[in-house]
Chain A
Amino acid sequence: MSFEEDVLKDFITEAKENLERLDEEFVELEQRPEDKELLSSIFRTIHTIKGTAGFFGFKTLEAIAHFAEDILSKLRDGLVVADEETIDMLLKSVDYIKAIIAALEETGKEPIDDTYLEFLVDLRNFADKVARRAEGGAEAPKPPQEAKAEEPAKPSPEEAKTEEEAKTEEEAKTEEPVKSEEPEPEEPKKEAEAKVPAPKKELEKKEKTTPKLDKTPHVQLTETHVRVDVRLLDQLMNLAGELVLSRNRLVQIASKLNDSELQNATQNLSLVTTELQEKIMKTRMQPIGNVFNKFPRIVRDLARSTGKKVTLRIEGADTELDRSIIDAIKDPLTHLVRNSIDHGIEDPDIRVQVGKPPAGTLILRAYHEGGQVVIEIEDDGRGIDVEKVKKKAIEKGLITPAEAEKLSDREALALIFRPGFSTAEKVTNISGRGVGMDVVKTNVEKLGGSIDIQSVLGAGTTVRLKIPLTLAIIPALVVTCNSQRYAIPQVSLRELVGLSEETRKNIHQIGSSEFFRLRGEMVPIIRLSKILGVEPSSQENAKEESLVILTSGAMDFGLVVDEIWDSEEIVVKPLGKHFKDLSIFAGATIMGDGKMALILDVVGISRKIGLKTEDVDRAKEAMATEAFAEDEQQFILLFNVASEEQFAIPLALVARLDKISADKLEFVGGKEIIQYRGRSMPIIRLENFLPIQPLPEQDEYHLLVFAEGENEVAFLVSRIVDSIQTKIDLDEKLYQIEGVLGSAIIKDRTTLFLDVYKIIEMHDPYFFVKVIPQEDRPYRILLAEDSPFFRQMIANYLASSGYEVETAVDGQDAWEKLQKDSYDVLITDIEMPRMTGIELAKQVRSDERFADLPIMALTSLASDEDKRRGLEAGIDEYQVKLERSQVLEALANLLKRKAEAQAA
């Protein structure tokens, strides 16, 4: 490489770095148009480009830089203020400079294209305009300027440069001969070529006039930084990886030999190796700010062209990532930011209408989490309309309407990542570039990352990318299958489930597929041995099996492995071309002991699962019913009155737990009360209503406060034992006492389950608001509930509110009772043996006799999905069992609606 080529390369690299910074600085300038420091910095950068361009004889480049510098000098000297128009023009100049630099890098020559000349003319005219404005604006305070402005013959750009006055004179002289030599018609070009001799002089000038501050950083830069080929760094890192492995082996051997001298030596080697590896890793790390800092400009341009107002906030710009990843995420990020501005953030007037500030906020955020970098693109725009997404997906033929019905919100949002999907109602020049979110997803996955989208309609969207820190070393979970080890990239890992006898109950065989019920979700599972086509683990080994819950972004699934080995940082090595058809492996790695392990490709495996749609549907159906079985788990509050007896009530019924000292208790008008929160609250001593040991004298008591509208009452107890989550298996026969629902063994003690509503009613029959009976008789309710605990409790609170309640032990029983008697309303549990609530509702609805019978379903936790299924079956209301007041209110409404319907 010749000296000149070398220098050119340096120039290009430096120019590229400077231009990056310029983008940012210009946008900043718009906010602080009078910032002298900023202006000087920009001026210097442009000036350097101009000077070097002149040195190499790049005339177009030099000319553009020259006029830009002209405009900047006026700004810097405070003769004109940077308005949007000016900054636009300057940014355009930067764009042209960038384009030329790019061409130089590729071909070593300036591009020959008329657009550059056209722009040059525009820029020159604009510079003239600015110069004229400067003359006008600078009249009073700058007399020397004024004097100069009166000389009309001189080319204006130079005029305002007071410091370069003398030089301008010189230039004007040298201009003539050059011009005659180059008889080209384009004026700007002539102008540009005419400037050839100028830069060096200007440079000299600058050296004299600009403060030393200008020069020092340059000197430092060249002396302390060396440019290194990235491939060399890659090789270094591979070698460091190998060194680590060799070191590990050596350490193992040393520990066996038990030679202290050898151990000291290996320990030392160990430390140095670790540090070496870290340092080499560091050479490849760059702050994500290198990508982020491109966005102020992109966002500004996009906002301008869409007529929107967007404030960009960048957080965590110093988060470091491997260089190769930084390069690779640039495009996906740009796409996501475009999407946010184009589709997410609303027009200012619309934002104002919905009560948001006119300027939308876009946040680019990066942070480390669990060995990965999380990048979030968050906007406070209109959010994604899930229904619209579904509609679009149906239109595009991606899913059928029936499938759309069954999709959860998360699944529906994931449709955006399907190939051939675009939510924009109109294709704009910004987002409608044919690059869909599917490409973004593919690119992110290629990096071993994942993408996730969350959106609240009307409030905004957050897209979250999880990216490994480096492509070469990734944290992985090592598992075994058929005595071979396999590595699973941590980025895909959701959680681990040990397969004990207990957890195996959550595995359900549906059709040909297996599913695992994980907190109300049906996750398809598959055996790794089946994917690999190897022998499954034998019966006794199966006890060690674990379930690894993985996410491929679009779907979660479980992988049954023989054993969880360890979690380890692994060096990813590619597999040979003979394995290119194997989508289930992402590569291989060498473990600490020198053995190899294949790295599983989670996305590839997810495609291999080959789920049948009907099985998935059935799984969801099964989940809907299964979920209710889990419902029967309740949070129970355990407490003592006298220490030898344990009592329980559902925690959900308690409004508050509190403590009071004994001296707060008062006995007024035959009632025991306390002053509580500024009011008198009646106190219930349970021994007054139940045949139990009395409450011992204590300095301090616990209060269990119950509330019904305005009314409050409290149980006085001696001790709160615990609150636990348990399935209530109630024995009703042992204690047939009013106020006691039954007994159960909890924590090795016989525990009485109290009927809170009954006891309160015994204490104060007017505590609960009663419904006004219908004409001559109370409303009749048929309650179907298989759990005796809930059956009694619900029946009691309904009865205490003035309803007449008939109970049935399951759906079948209820159906039979419906034949014999007439009821005003049917209240049913969902999960029941023989006939579920859903089946009961369907059967009731299919019979004309019960067309008007309102049906209310009671569950412990109703999700939207359950509600939808219930509504389909003909259920009118969904309520939560323990939410007494809401159940009663909904019941009253149902009856009112029915009465109105009948009246009409």
Chain B
Amino acid sequence: MGLPTPEKQEKSIVTEKTRLFITFWLADFLFALPVEEVVEINRSLDITPVPQAPPYVSGIINLRGQILTAIDLAKRIGLKREREAHHNVIVGREEEPLSLLVEQIGDVLEIPVSQIEEPPEVIEGLDTDFVKNVSKLPDRLLVILDPEKLFKV
């Protein structure tokens, strides 16, 4: 899956102040992460379970020789997952990269900064600790996750 290049982003900044987000599905939520946080997206990779690891850790994956921790994102953010999460969203440019397991990948969305809002105090069925912002899309709420919180052990 091709990702938009930074130049494209800059161009859009010139015309209208927007931000690009990678979106993905977990349960009935549409989540988003800023595009600059995402390294790549992979379909199912073999996960080797790590016994005695924290419950939200699915195991480790082999990404071209690099061993990454695979996080069961649903468990991490207190969500009840209904389907298998097969997709790996690899995040972390600065930090040690992580793989977030999600059910399905959504579109890349360009969202005007003006439409990025503070999250409400409660989102039903979700631990709002990990939510940085939300954006009201025509048909649903886009939940923008806080990568920093996800990285924290």
Residues of A within 8 A of B69 (CB): 575-576, 578-579
Residues of A within 8 A of B46 (CB): 595-596
Nearest A residue (CB) for B65: A242
Stretch at the interface among A584-592, A631-639, A721-729: A584-592
Residues of B within 8 A of A484 (CB): 48-49
Please pick, from A238, A576, A582, A595, the residue contacting B65 in the complex, using a CB distance under 8 A: A238
Assess whether A870 is interfacial by the CB under 8 Å rule. no
Distance A594 CA – B64 CA, assembled complex (angstroms): 9
Distance A359 CA – B51 CA, assembled complex (angstroms): 56
Distance A532 CA – B67 CA, assembled complex (angstroms): 20
Stretch at the interface among B6-14, B27-35, B54-62, B79-87: B54-62
Closest beta carbon of chain B to A238's beta carbon, Å: 7
Counted as pairs of residues, one from A and one from B, with CB atoms less than 8 Å apart, the total is 63
Closest beta carbon of chain B to A40's beta carbon, Å: 52
Assess whether B98 is interfacial by the CB under 8 Å rule. yes
Assess whether B53 is interfacial by the CB under 8 Å rule. yes
**A578, B62: Cβ atoms closer than 8 Å:** no
Please pick, from A533, A534, A575, A577, the residue contacting B67 in the complex, using a CB distance under 8 A: A575
**B50, A579: Cβ atoms closer than 8 Å:** yes
**B153, A580: Cβ atoms closer than 8 Å:** yes
Please pick, from A534, A574, A580, A595, the residue contacting B48 in the complex, using a CB distance under 8 A: A595
Q: Tell me which of B49, B64, B67 has the highest count of chain A C-beta atoms within 10 A of its own C-beta.
A: B67
**A578, B57: Cβ atoms closer than 8 Å:** yes
Closest beta carbon of chain B to A859's beta carbon, Å: 45
Nearest B residue (CB) for A597: B48
**A579, B57: Cβ atoms closer than 8 Å:** yes
Please pick, from B48, B53, B64, the residue contacting A579 in the complex, using a CB distance under 8 A: B53
Please pick, from B51, B53, B65, B67, the residue contacting A245 in the complex, using a CB distance under 8 A: B65
Assess whether A808 is interfacial by the CB under 8 Å rule. no
Please pick, from A533, A577, A580, A588, the residue contacting B51 in the complex, using a CB distance under 8 A: A533
| A575-B60, A596-B67 known; A533-B98 Cβ under 8 A | no
Nearest B residue (CB) for A481: B51
**A588, B60: Cβ atoms closer than 8 Å:** yes
**B48, A241: Cβ atoms closer than 8 Å:** no
Residues of B within 8 A of A578 (CB): 53-54, 57, 69, 71, 153
Closest beta carbon of chain A to B61's beta carbon, Å: 8
**B48, A577: Cβ atoms closer than 8 Å:** no
Nearest B residue (CB) for A528: B51
Assess whether B68 is interfacial by the CB under 8 Å rule. yes
Q: Tell me which of A578, A580, A584 has the highest count of chain B C-beta atoms within 10 A of its own C-beta.
A: A578
Assess whether B114 is interfacial by the CB under 8 Å rule. no
Closest beta carbon of chain A to B148's beta carbon, Å: 14
Residues of A within 8 A of B50 (CB): 575, 579, 582, 585, 598
Please pick, from A242, A576, A595, the residue contacting B68 in the complex, using a CB distance under 8 A: A576
Within 8 A of A (CB), among B69-124: 69, 71, 96, 98
Residues of A within 8 A of B15 (CB): none
Distance A578 CA – B48 CA, assembled complex (angstroms): 15
**B53, A582: Cβ atoms closer than 8 Å:** yes
Closest beta carbon of chain B to A245's beta carbon, Å: 7
**B52, A533: Cβ atoms closer than 8 Å:** yes
Q: Tell me which of B51, B65, B96 has the highest count of chain A C-beta atoms within 10 A of its own C-beta.
A: B51
Nearest B residue (CB) for A574: B67
| A579-B57, A590-B62, A596-B62 known; A584-B68 Cβ under 8 A | no
Assess whether A44 is interfacial by the CB under 8 Å rule. no
Distance A533 CA – B48 CA, assembled complex (angstroms): 15
**B153, A577: Cβ atoms closer than 8 Å:** yes
Closest beta carbon of chain B to A699's beta carbon, Å: 71
Distance A598 CA – B65 CA, assembled complex (angstroms): 14
**A573, B67: Cβ atoms closer than 8 Å:** yes
Distance A35 CA – B64 CA, assembled complex (angstroms): 59
Residues of A within 8 A of B96 (CB): 576-577
**B153, A534: Cβ atoms closer than 8 Å:** no
Residues of B within 8 A of A573 (CB): 66-67
Distance A532 CA – B64 CA, assembled complex (angstroms): 27
| A576-B98, A595-B48, A596-B60 known; A241-B65 Cβ under 8 A | yes
Distance A238 CA – B64 CA, assembled complex (angstroms): 11
Residues of A within 8 A of B61 (CB): 596
Closest beta carbon of chain B to A562's beta carbon, Å: 14
Within 8 A of B (CB), among A474-493: 484
Q: Tell me which of A532, A574, A596 has the highest count of chain B C-beta atoms within 10 A of its own C-beta.
A: A596
Residues of B within 8 A of A594 (CB): 62
| A245-B65, A577-B153, A578-B69 known; A532-B52 Cβ under 8 A | yes
Distance A484 CA – B66 CA, assembled complex (angstroms): 19
Closest beta carbon of chain B to A478's beta carbon, Å: 13
Within 8 A of B (CB), among A223-258: 238, 241-242, 245
**B52, A582: Cβ atoms closer than 8 Å:** yes
Residues of A within 8 A of B52 (CB): 532-533, 582, 584
Query: Can you list, as one digit per residue, whether each of A808-849 has a CB less than 8 Å from chain B (1) or not (0)?
Result: 000000000000000000000000000000000000000000
Residues of A within 8 A of B49 (CB): 484
Nearest B residue (CB) for A534: B51
Closest beta carbon of chain A to B92's beta carbon, Å: 10
Query: Can you list, as one digit per residue, whether each of A290-328 has a CB less than 8 Å from chain B (1) or not (0)?
Result: 000000000000000000000000000000000000000
Nearest A residue (CB) for B96: A576
Distance A238 CA – B67 CA, assembled complex (angstroms): 12
Distance A582 CA – B53 CA, assembled complex (angstroms): 7
Nearest A residue (CB) for B66: A573
**B51, A532: Cβ atoms closer than 8 Å:** yes
Closest beta carbon of chain B to A24's beta carbon, Å: 42
Residues of A within 8 A of B67 (CB): 573-576, 588, 590, 596
Closest beta carbon of chain A to B144's beta carbon, Å: 23
Residues of B within 8 A of A579 (CB): 50, 53, 57, 69
Distance A242 CA – B96 CA, assembled complex (angstroms): 19
Residues of B within 8 A of A595 (CB): 46, 48, 62
Distance A241 CA – B49 CA, assembled complex (angstroms): 23
Distance A594 CA – B57 CA, assembled complex (angstroms): 21
Residues of B within 8 A of A584 (CB): 52
Q: Tell me which of A242, A573, A597, A598 has the highest count of chain B C-beta atoms within 10 A of its own C-beta.
A: A598
Please pick, from B53, B65, B71, B98, the residue contacting A590 in the complex, using a CB distance under 8 A: B65
Residues of B within 8 A of A533 (CB): 51-52
Name 11 A/B residue pairs within 8 A (Cβ), A-sorted: A532-B51, A533-B51, A533-B52, A534-B51, A574-B67, A578-B57, A578-B153, A588-B60, A588-B67, A596-B46, A596-B67
The 4 A-B residue pairs whose C-beta atoms are closest, nearest first, are: A576-B69, A532-B51, A242-B65, A596-B48
- Known pairs A576-B98, A580-B153, A598-B50. 7 more at Cβ < 8 A? A242-B64, A245-B65, A575-B67, A576-B68, A588-B67, A590-B65, A595-B48
